[in-house]
A and B are shown apart, each in its own frame.
Chain A
Amino acid sequence: MLRTKPVLITAILLGSLSLGACSHLGAKPWERSVLARPDMQASADPVQAGLDDHVYFSKEASSGGRGFGGGGCGCN
């Protein structure tokens, strides 16, 4: 377990650097009209996502992923 953390972090950093540097990836500023759409945001509906997180936090043993997974809920 302890070994996987640095590996993951390194993979994220290296992956982002290599992908970001690749000329085929990304969009120019004038190509961003689709990416600026509300429904194309990484979290298009944060309020309803929060409701879902609360249901799953209280019924399953997993939480988090998209964001913080603490819960702030007494449903241990």
Chain B
Amino acid sequence: MQLTPEDKRRALAAATLTLLGGGLPSAQAEDKTWDIDTAVMVYAESDNRVQAVEPVLKGTLNLGAERYFTAKLVVDTLTGASPNGATPASTPQTFAGPSPYTADPNETPLDDRFRDTRFQGLVDYQFPLSDVDTLGFGVNAGTEYDFVSLGGNLRYARDLFQHNTTLSAGLNFESDSIDPVGGIPIPLAVMRVASDSDDDDGIDDDMNGWRDGSSDSKTVTDVVLGWTQVIDPKSLFQMNYSLSASSGYQNDPYKVLSVVGADGEPLRYVYEARPDSRSKNALFMSYKRFVFDRDVTEISYRYMTDDWGIDSHTVDLSYRWYFGTAHYLEPHLRWYSQTAADFYHVALDDGEETLVSEASADTRLAEFDAVTAGIKIGSAVPGRGNWSLRLEYYQQSPKLGGVPTQAADGLSKFDLQPELSAVMLTMGYRFTW
């Protein structure tokens, strides 16, 4: 496909805006064509934990004159089990709720009711205001069994210095509502005991008292400021600063913490309690270069910090090696490291639940390192359908933290932070219609 000078000139601004919103295909010259981009990801965690199949269909209609309409649909089917936050115990543990479940002795308690189908769709429109200004806006909606998300975004990009520099700004607003099975639990309230009759043990067996209401909501506002710079005819640098401010219900309503005795054995379970707001700041940098007149390599780094005490570093490396005329192999490495949230506790000492105002045992808020290694093979023939197949392995290695002091010895007999590993297989096919 032959690119017009106009396409070449505008490619940078368009690509920059793509990052912030719905996206558009690589520069296209022909008017009124659809660029169809499809993919299916199969995600499988070890030990029969979460399994997911996620197909995506995205179509971008090139309306000519640099105007693009995009529609995207994502379906995500989840099954399997997820840690509920409780620590292992020497005896079987039964967790109450609308459908009770049991964890074997010395095993990390997994909530095996984890089953959901998510639908997410978006529409987006992007058009030039002038030779150097581009505007885009989009709306999106997502729904799960107990969750609904609605959002909208507005993006603006301006080219400077003969289209070698692009500055961009984007604003995204999202409104979420959550309606968990059994209602919203009161933070730090004691989980009722399974098969326990309604007695006067102080535990609310009929669950009337621990529900805070049937549903709750949160809003998320994102601001992204970007700078993309052509370094030379073969390389590109990009830097983004982003702020994400979230306000409202931040808890995972299905997560609990174990309150343990000095022997490390659980006395009871309490629902987690996170702050009702979160502010994240991130700085992202990427450098992309065409090398050996054949291959493409990219390195990126992201630093994120939030007001929950979490700092993270992400380094991502990829190298696309072309063999033959239009086929490539692309090895990929990603390294990630985060510190724990200030209120992360692997468990609580007896009585500690009345002393803290915030606590969570969610492993996603713990300190850990993670590595992703993978390889992708694909075709890249201009003007023809291009396929790709990618296999990746992800491993999370947690670091023990937030151990209750009085129960530290008692808990030491358990594996409190088991590793998480997952395999991801992604198939993609992209064509013009």
Contact = CB atoms under 8 A, between A and B. Distances in A.
Interface of A: 1, 4-5, 8-9, 12-13, 15-16, 19-21, 25-29, 31-48, 50-51, 54-56, 59-74, 76
Given A20-B165, A65-B284, A72-B140, A60 B312 contact: yes
B194 interface: no
> Most chain-A Cβ atoms within 10 A of its Cβ — which of B151, B230, B290, B380?
B230
Interface residues of B, number: 112
A65 B426 CA distance: 22
A1 B162 contact: no
B255 to A, nearest CB: 8
Contact of A32 (B233, B320, B428): B233
Which 3 A-B residue pairs are closest in the complex by CB-CB distance? A74-B147, A26-B164, A38-B26
A26 B230 contact: yes
B232 interface: yes
Given A32-B9, A41-B18, A72-B140, A65 B240 contact: yes
Nearest to B39: A47
Contacts of A37: 26, 290, 296
A70 B135 CA distance: 21
B12 A35 contact: yes
Given A40-B290, A42-B19, A60 B236 contact: no
B247 interface: no
Contact of A76 (B172, B252, B284): B252
Given A20-B160, A60-B370, A69 B232 contact: no
Interface of B: 3, 5, 7-9, 11-12, 15-16, 18-21, 23, 25-27, 37-39, 41, 43, 54, 56, 58, 72, 74, 76, 116, 118, 120, 140, 142, 144, 146-147, 149, 151, 153, 160-165, 167, 170, 172, 174, 176, 178, 220, 222, 224-225, 227-234, 236, 238-244, 250-252, 279-284, 286, 288, 290, 296, 300, 302, 304-308, 310, 312, 314, 320, 336, 338, 341, 364-365, 370, 380, 382, 388, 390, 394, 396, 420, 422, 424, 426, 428
B108 to A, nearest CB: 16
Interface on chain B toward A: helix, strand, loop, or mixed SS?
strand
A52 B428 CA distance: 13
A72 B174 CA distance: 7
13 contacts: A25-B231, A27-B164, A31-B233, A35-B11, A38-B382, A42-B286, A44-B26, A48-B390, A59-B370, A61-B338, A62-B282, A67-B240, A68-B224
A68 B242 CA distance: 8
A50 B15 CA distance: 15
A21 B113 CA distance: 58
A2 B364 CA distance: 26
